[in-house]
Amino acid sequence: MRLRFGGLAVCGLLVAAAPSLAVDKDEVKAAIAKGVAYLKQQQRPDGSWLYTELRDTVQLDQNVIMVGATALVGLTLVECEVPTDDAAVQKAAEFVRRGSVKLTSTYVLSLAIMFLDRLGDPDDVRLIQSMGVRLLAGQTTEGGWSYHCPDVSPDEAARLLTALQQRTELRTKRPKAKPGEQKQRPTLPKDIQKQLQGMGQRAWGGRGGDNSNTQFAILALWVARRHGVPVEQALALVDTRFRGSQNRDGGWSYAGLGNRGGAGFSSPAMTCAGLLGLAVAHGVASETALRTNPGKARNTTVRAVTDPNRDPAVRAGLIALAQVIGKPTGKKTVLGQVRQPGWSSDGNIYYFLWSLERVAVVYGLTTIGNKDWYGWGSEFLLDYQGAQGAWNGKYGFEVDTCFALLFLRRANLAGDLTATLKGRVQDPGEARLTARGVGANKPPPAKSDSGPDKRKSDTPVAKNPPAKSESGKTPSGPASDDDQAKVARLRNDLVSARGTEQERLVEQYRDAKGYVYTDALAAAIPELAGETKTKARDALAERLSRMTAPTLRKKLKEESAEIRRAAALACAMKEDRQHIPDLIEALEDREMSVVLAARTGLKHLTKQDFGPRKDATPAERAKAVEEWKVWLKDQQG
């Protein structure tokens, strides 16, 4: 099957986010029931389903395609709560088992692994292991997969066929497997280990590969690891692949040729593939960190390595994905909504919706870009379900119906991965603020009342040379000559450093104790540029977020515009809504960078936005401030 296409209190006020529009649960339930009934009606006497849309499948023979379609339908039925001992599921399982002995198709191997794993039959473990090894061997040197994996050895094929022939009578009551259920992983049999060694990982796959085949293989390998298949090295290479091919817009393309240079066109489904690849890499890293540091689950070093919420590639991917997600409207959805400027799509919305659902469920996100992705997609699917219960798009009734049903069911084929990531990744639309205005960094825990900067005044003069704020004024305030000299030295060290040394100093100044580091950052920022300047601003905002409310109020009055700006963001990073009046006052600051930071903080804390815009005239700014004041007065009243 070729799936390709290009609770808040401020002076007595209570602020709550606006409720999202949701689809009717009974309607969704009825749609799922109709879809399941349709699929059952289409099952052939031999237990298979025919993939009816063959125009893009010239690379595979029809029998292989039928195994893939049958595995997909069987998986969908079980996810839709059809019992595993249901006759339709059992007949599908037998067809898939027979057809899986000599499979080499990446898509079909992946679907067969996921289906058989979902059944939870211990007699299928050997077959799952064998298919998992074939997938491993099919990985390319660039971390992806194309359409084919290497053939199984004749001896292994004979062993698998014999096992199927000798298989005991099927149990009428199999234990229903839970997706992602954690069990002790078995050891690979010696002959499977020999098969793995003989094939040699990535020795067969060559170069390249596409991200559509790759996202199926990724999920299948995550499943296969439950059965002892050693996937860590392969998934690490997947991580390298997607980090090296992310486009400038944050998305990924089918061919994986982005490398941040914009080569290829980002597509919604392939952006989901990239996010899935990063998710499994984080899952493996988290498991490894906890396994190698069992008593140090909260160790800072471990957390820094495995924290997906601090991963800029994940955040950029989610922001890009949010651009093609709409909001539920209560009206009939237009298919063209999924097409956005700069994105390549051929209208295959059903494949995209299943890809979107997989990513959102794996990361544990109810919204992406503050958009109810499930409400939006479900609204569309309820509109476009046919009278017989099917959906029909590029891949035909059976396959597209499966994609739609898996979305509506919020199917989770990697529950153990979700358990690892859920609660650790924020929707970028709701993410905590950083110096960029909005970001994913979790603020450090609050310190004592005095904060990290204990002194009479927080703004000494940097004399060598004098550092100027955005307003062009030199920071001033009583400080000893020794402190002034230290600020100047720290500032000069940061400005003159290059590359990794500069990054190291930014992190050091962010975490070190003493007001001199605050002032050194503020003095250096105007002399920095690009990503380094952004990181330094992030660091300054994080330092200030460790301060108490009274100290932050003082910071909002500092002479340094950089400190005032960072203080405005820190108010929101602390989730401290008592600062709403302070931020409204900051909207009248003489520096636009401070005004915009205050507006960003207000949006984050109140879920409201009255402006002002960056290019607002003085009259428009005054009007925006007045609207904020009226709103605050109404809430207090």
Burial of residue 338 (CB within 10 Å: 0-12, 13-18, 19+) is buried
pLDDT tens digit string along 565-606?
A: 999 998 888 777 888 999 999 999 888 889 998 998 888 888
Among the residue ranges 12-26, 364-378, 611-625, the one predicted with the least confidence is: 12-26
What pLDDT, on a 0 to 100 scale, did the predictor assign at position 285?
78
d(CA 453, CA 513): 7
**Greater model confidence, 398 or 450:** 398
Residue type at 297 in one-letter notation = A
pLDDT for residue 40 = 95
User: Residue 321's pLDDT band (boundaries 50, 70, 90)?
Assistant: very high
Beta pairing partners, 210:
145
Predicted confidence band of residue 47 (pLDDT cuts 50, 70, 90): very high
Residue partners of 129: CB distance under 8 A and separation at least 6: 188, 189, 192, 224, 227, 228, 229
Domain residue extents for the chain: 42-167+179-229, 231-431, 481-636
pLDDT of residue 196: 64
Compute and round to an integer the Cα radius of gyration of the chain.
28
Q: Tell me the two tokens of residue 529.
A: 């540029």
pLDDT of residue 69 exceeding 80: yes
- pTM value? 0.62
155 CA to centre of own chain: 41
pLDDT digits (tens, 9 = 90+) for 412-428: 888 888 887 877 888 88
pLDDT-derived band at 387, boundaries 50, 70, 90: very high
Average pLDDT, the chain: 76
Q: What is the pLDDT of residue 297?
A: 39
> pLDDT at residue 36 above 90?
yes
Calpha distance 392→401 (Å, rounded): 7
CATH architecture designation of domain 481-636: Alpha Horseshoe (1.25)
Q: What share of the chain is helix, strand, coil (3-state, %, to 5)?
A: 55, 0, 45
Number of other CB atoms surrounding residue 365 within 10 Å: 21
User: CB–CB of 84/170 below 8 Å?
Assistant: no
The span from the CA of 236 to the CA of 521, in Å, is 36
Instruction: Check if the beta carbon of residue 238 is closer than 8 Å to that of residue 209.
Output: no
Residue carrying the six token digits 């849309």: 53
pLDDT for position 417 = 84
Please list, residue by residue across 541-573, b when 16 or more beta carbons sit within 10 angstroms of its beta carbon and e when fewer do.
bbbbbbbbeebbbebbebbbbbbbbbbbbbbbb
Give me the torsion for CA of 483, 484, 489, 492, rounded to 10°. Answer: 140
Please give the residue that has the higher pLDDT: either 300 or 151. Answer: 151
Q: How far is CA 621 from CA 435, 470, 566, 626, 628, in A?
A: 22, 19, 21, 9, 11
| Residue 367, number of CB atoms within 10 A of its CB | 21
Distance between CA atoms of 16 and 194, rounded to whole angstroms? 59
Q: Place 546 in a pLDDT band, splitting at 50, 70 and 90.
A: confident
pLDDT of amino acid 276: 95
Lowest mean pLDDT across 273-282, 343-352, 355-364, 542-551: 343-352
pLDDT at 21: 47
- What residue type is assigned to position 573 of the chain? M
Residue 43 predicted with pLDDT over 90: yes
DSSP 429-441: TTPPP-TTSS--P
Distance separating alpha carbons of residues 236 and 232, to the nearest angstrom: 6
d(CA 75, CA 32): 14
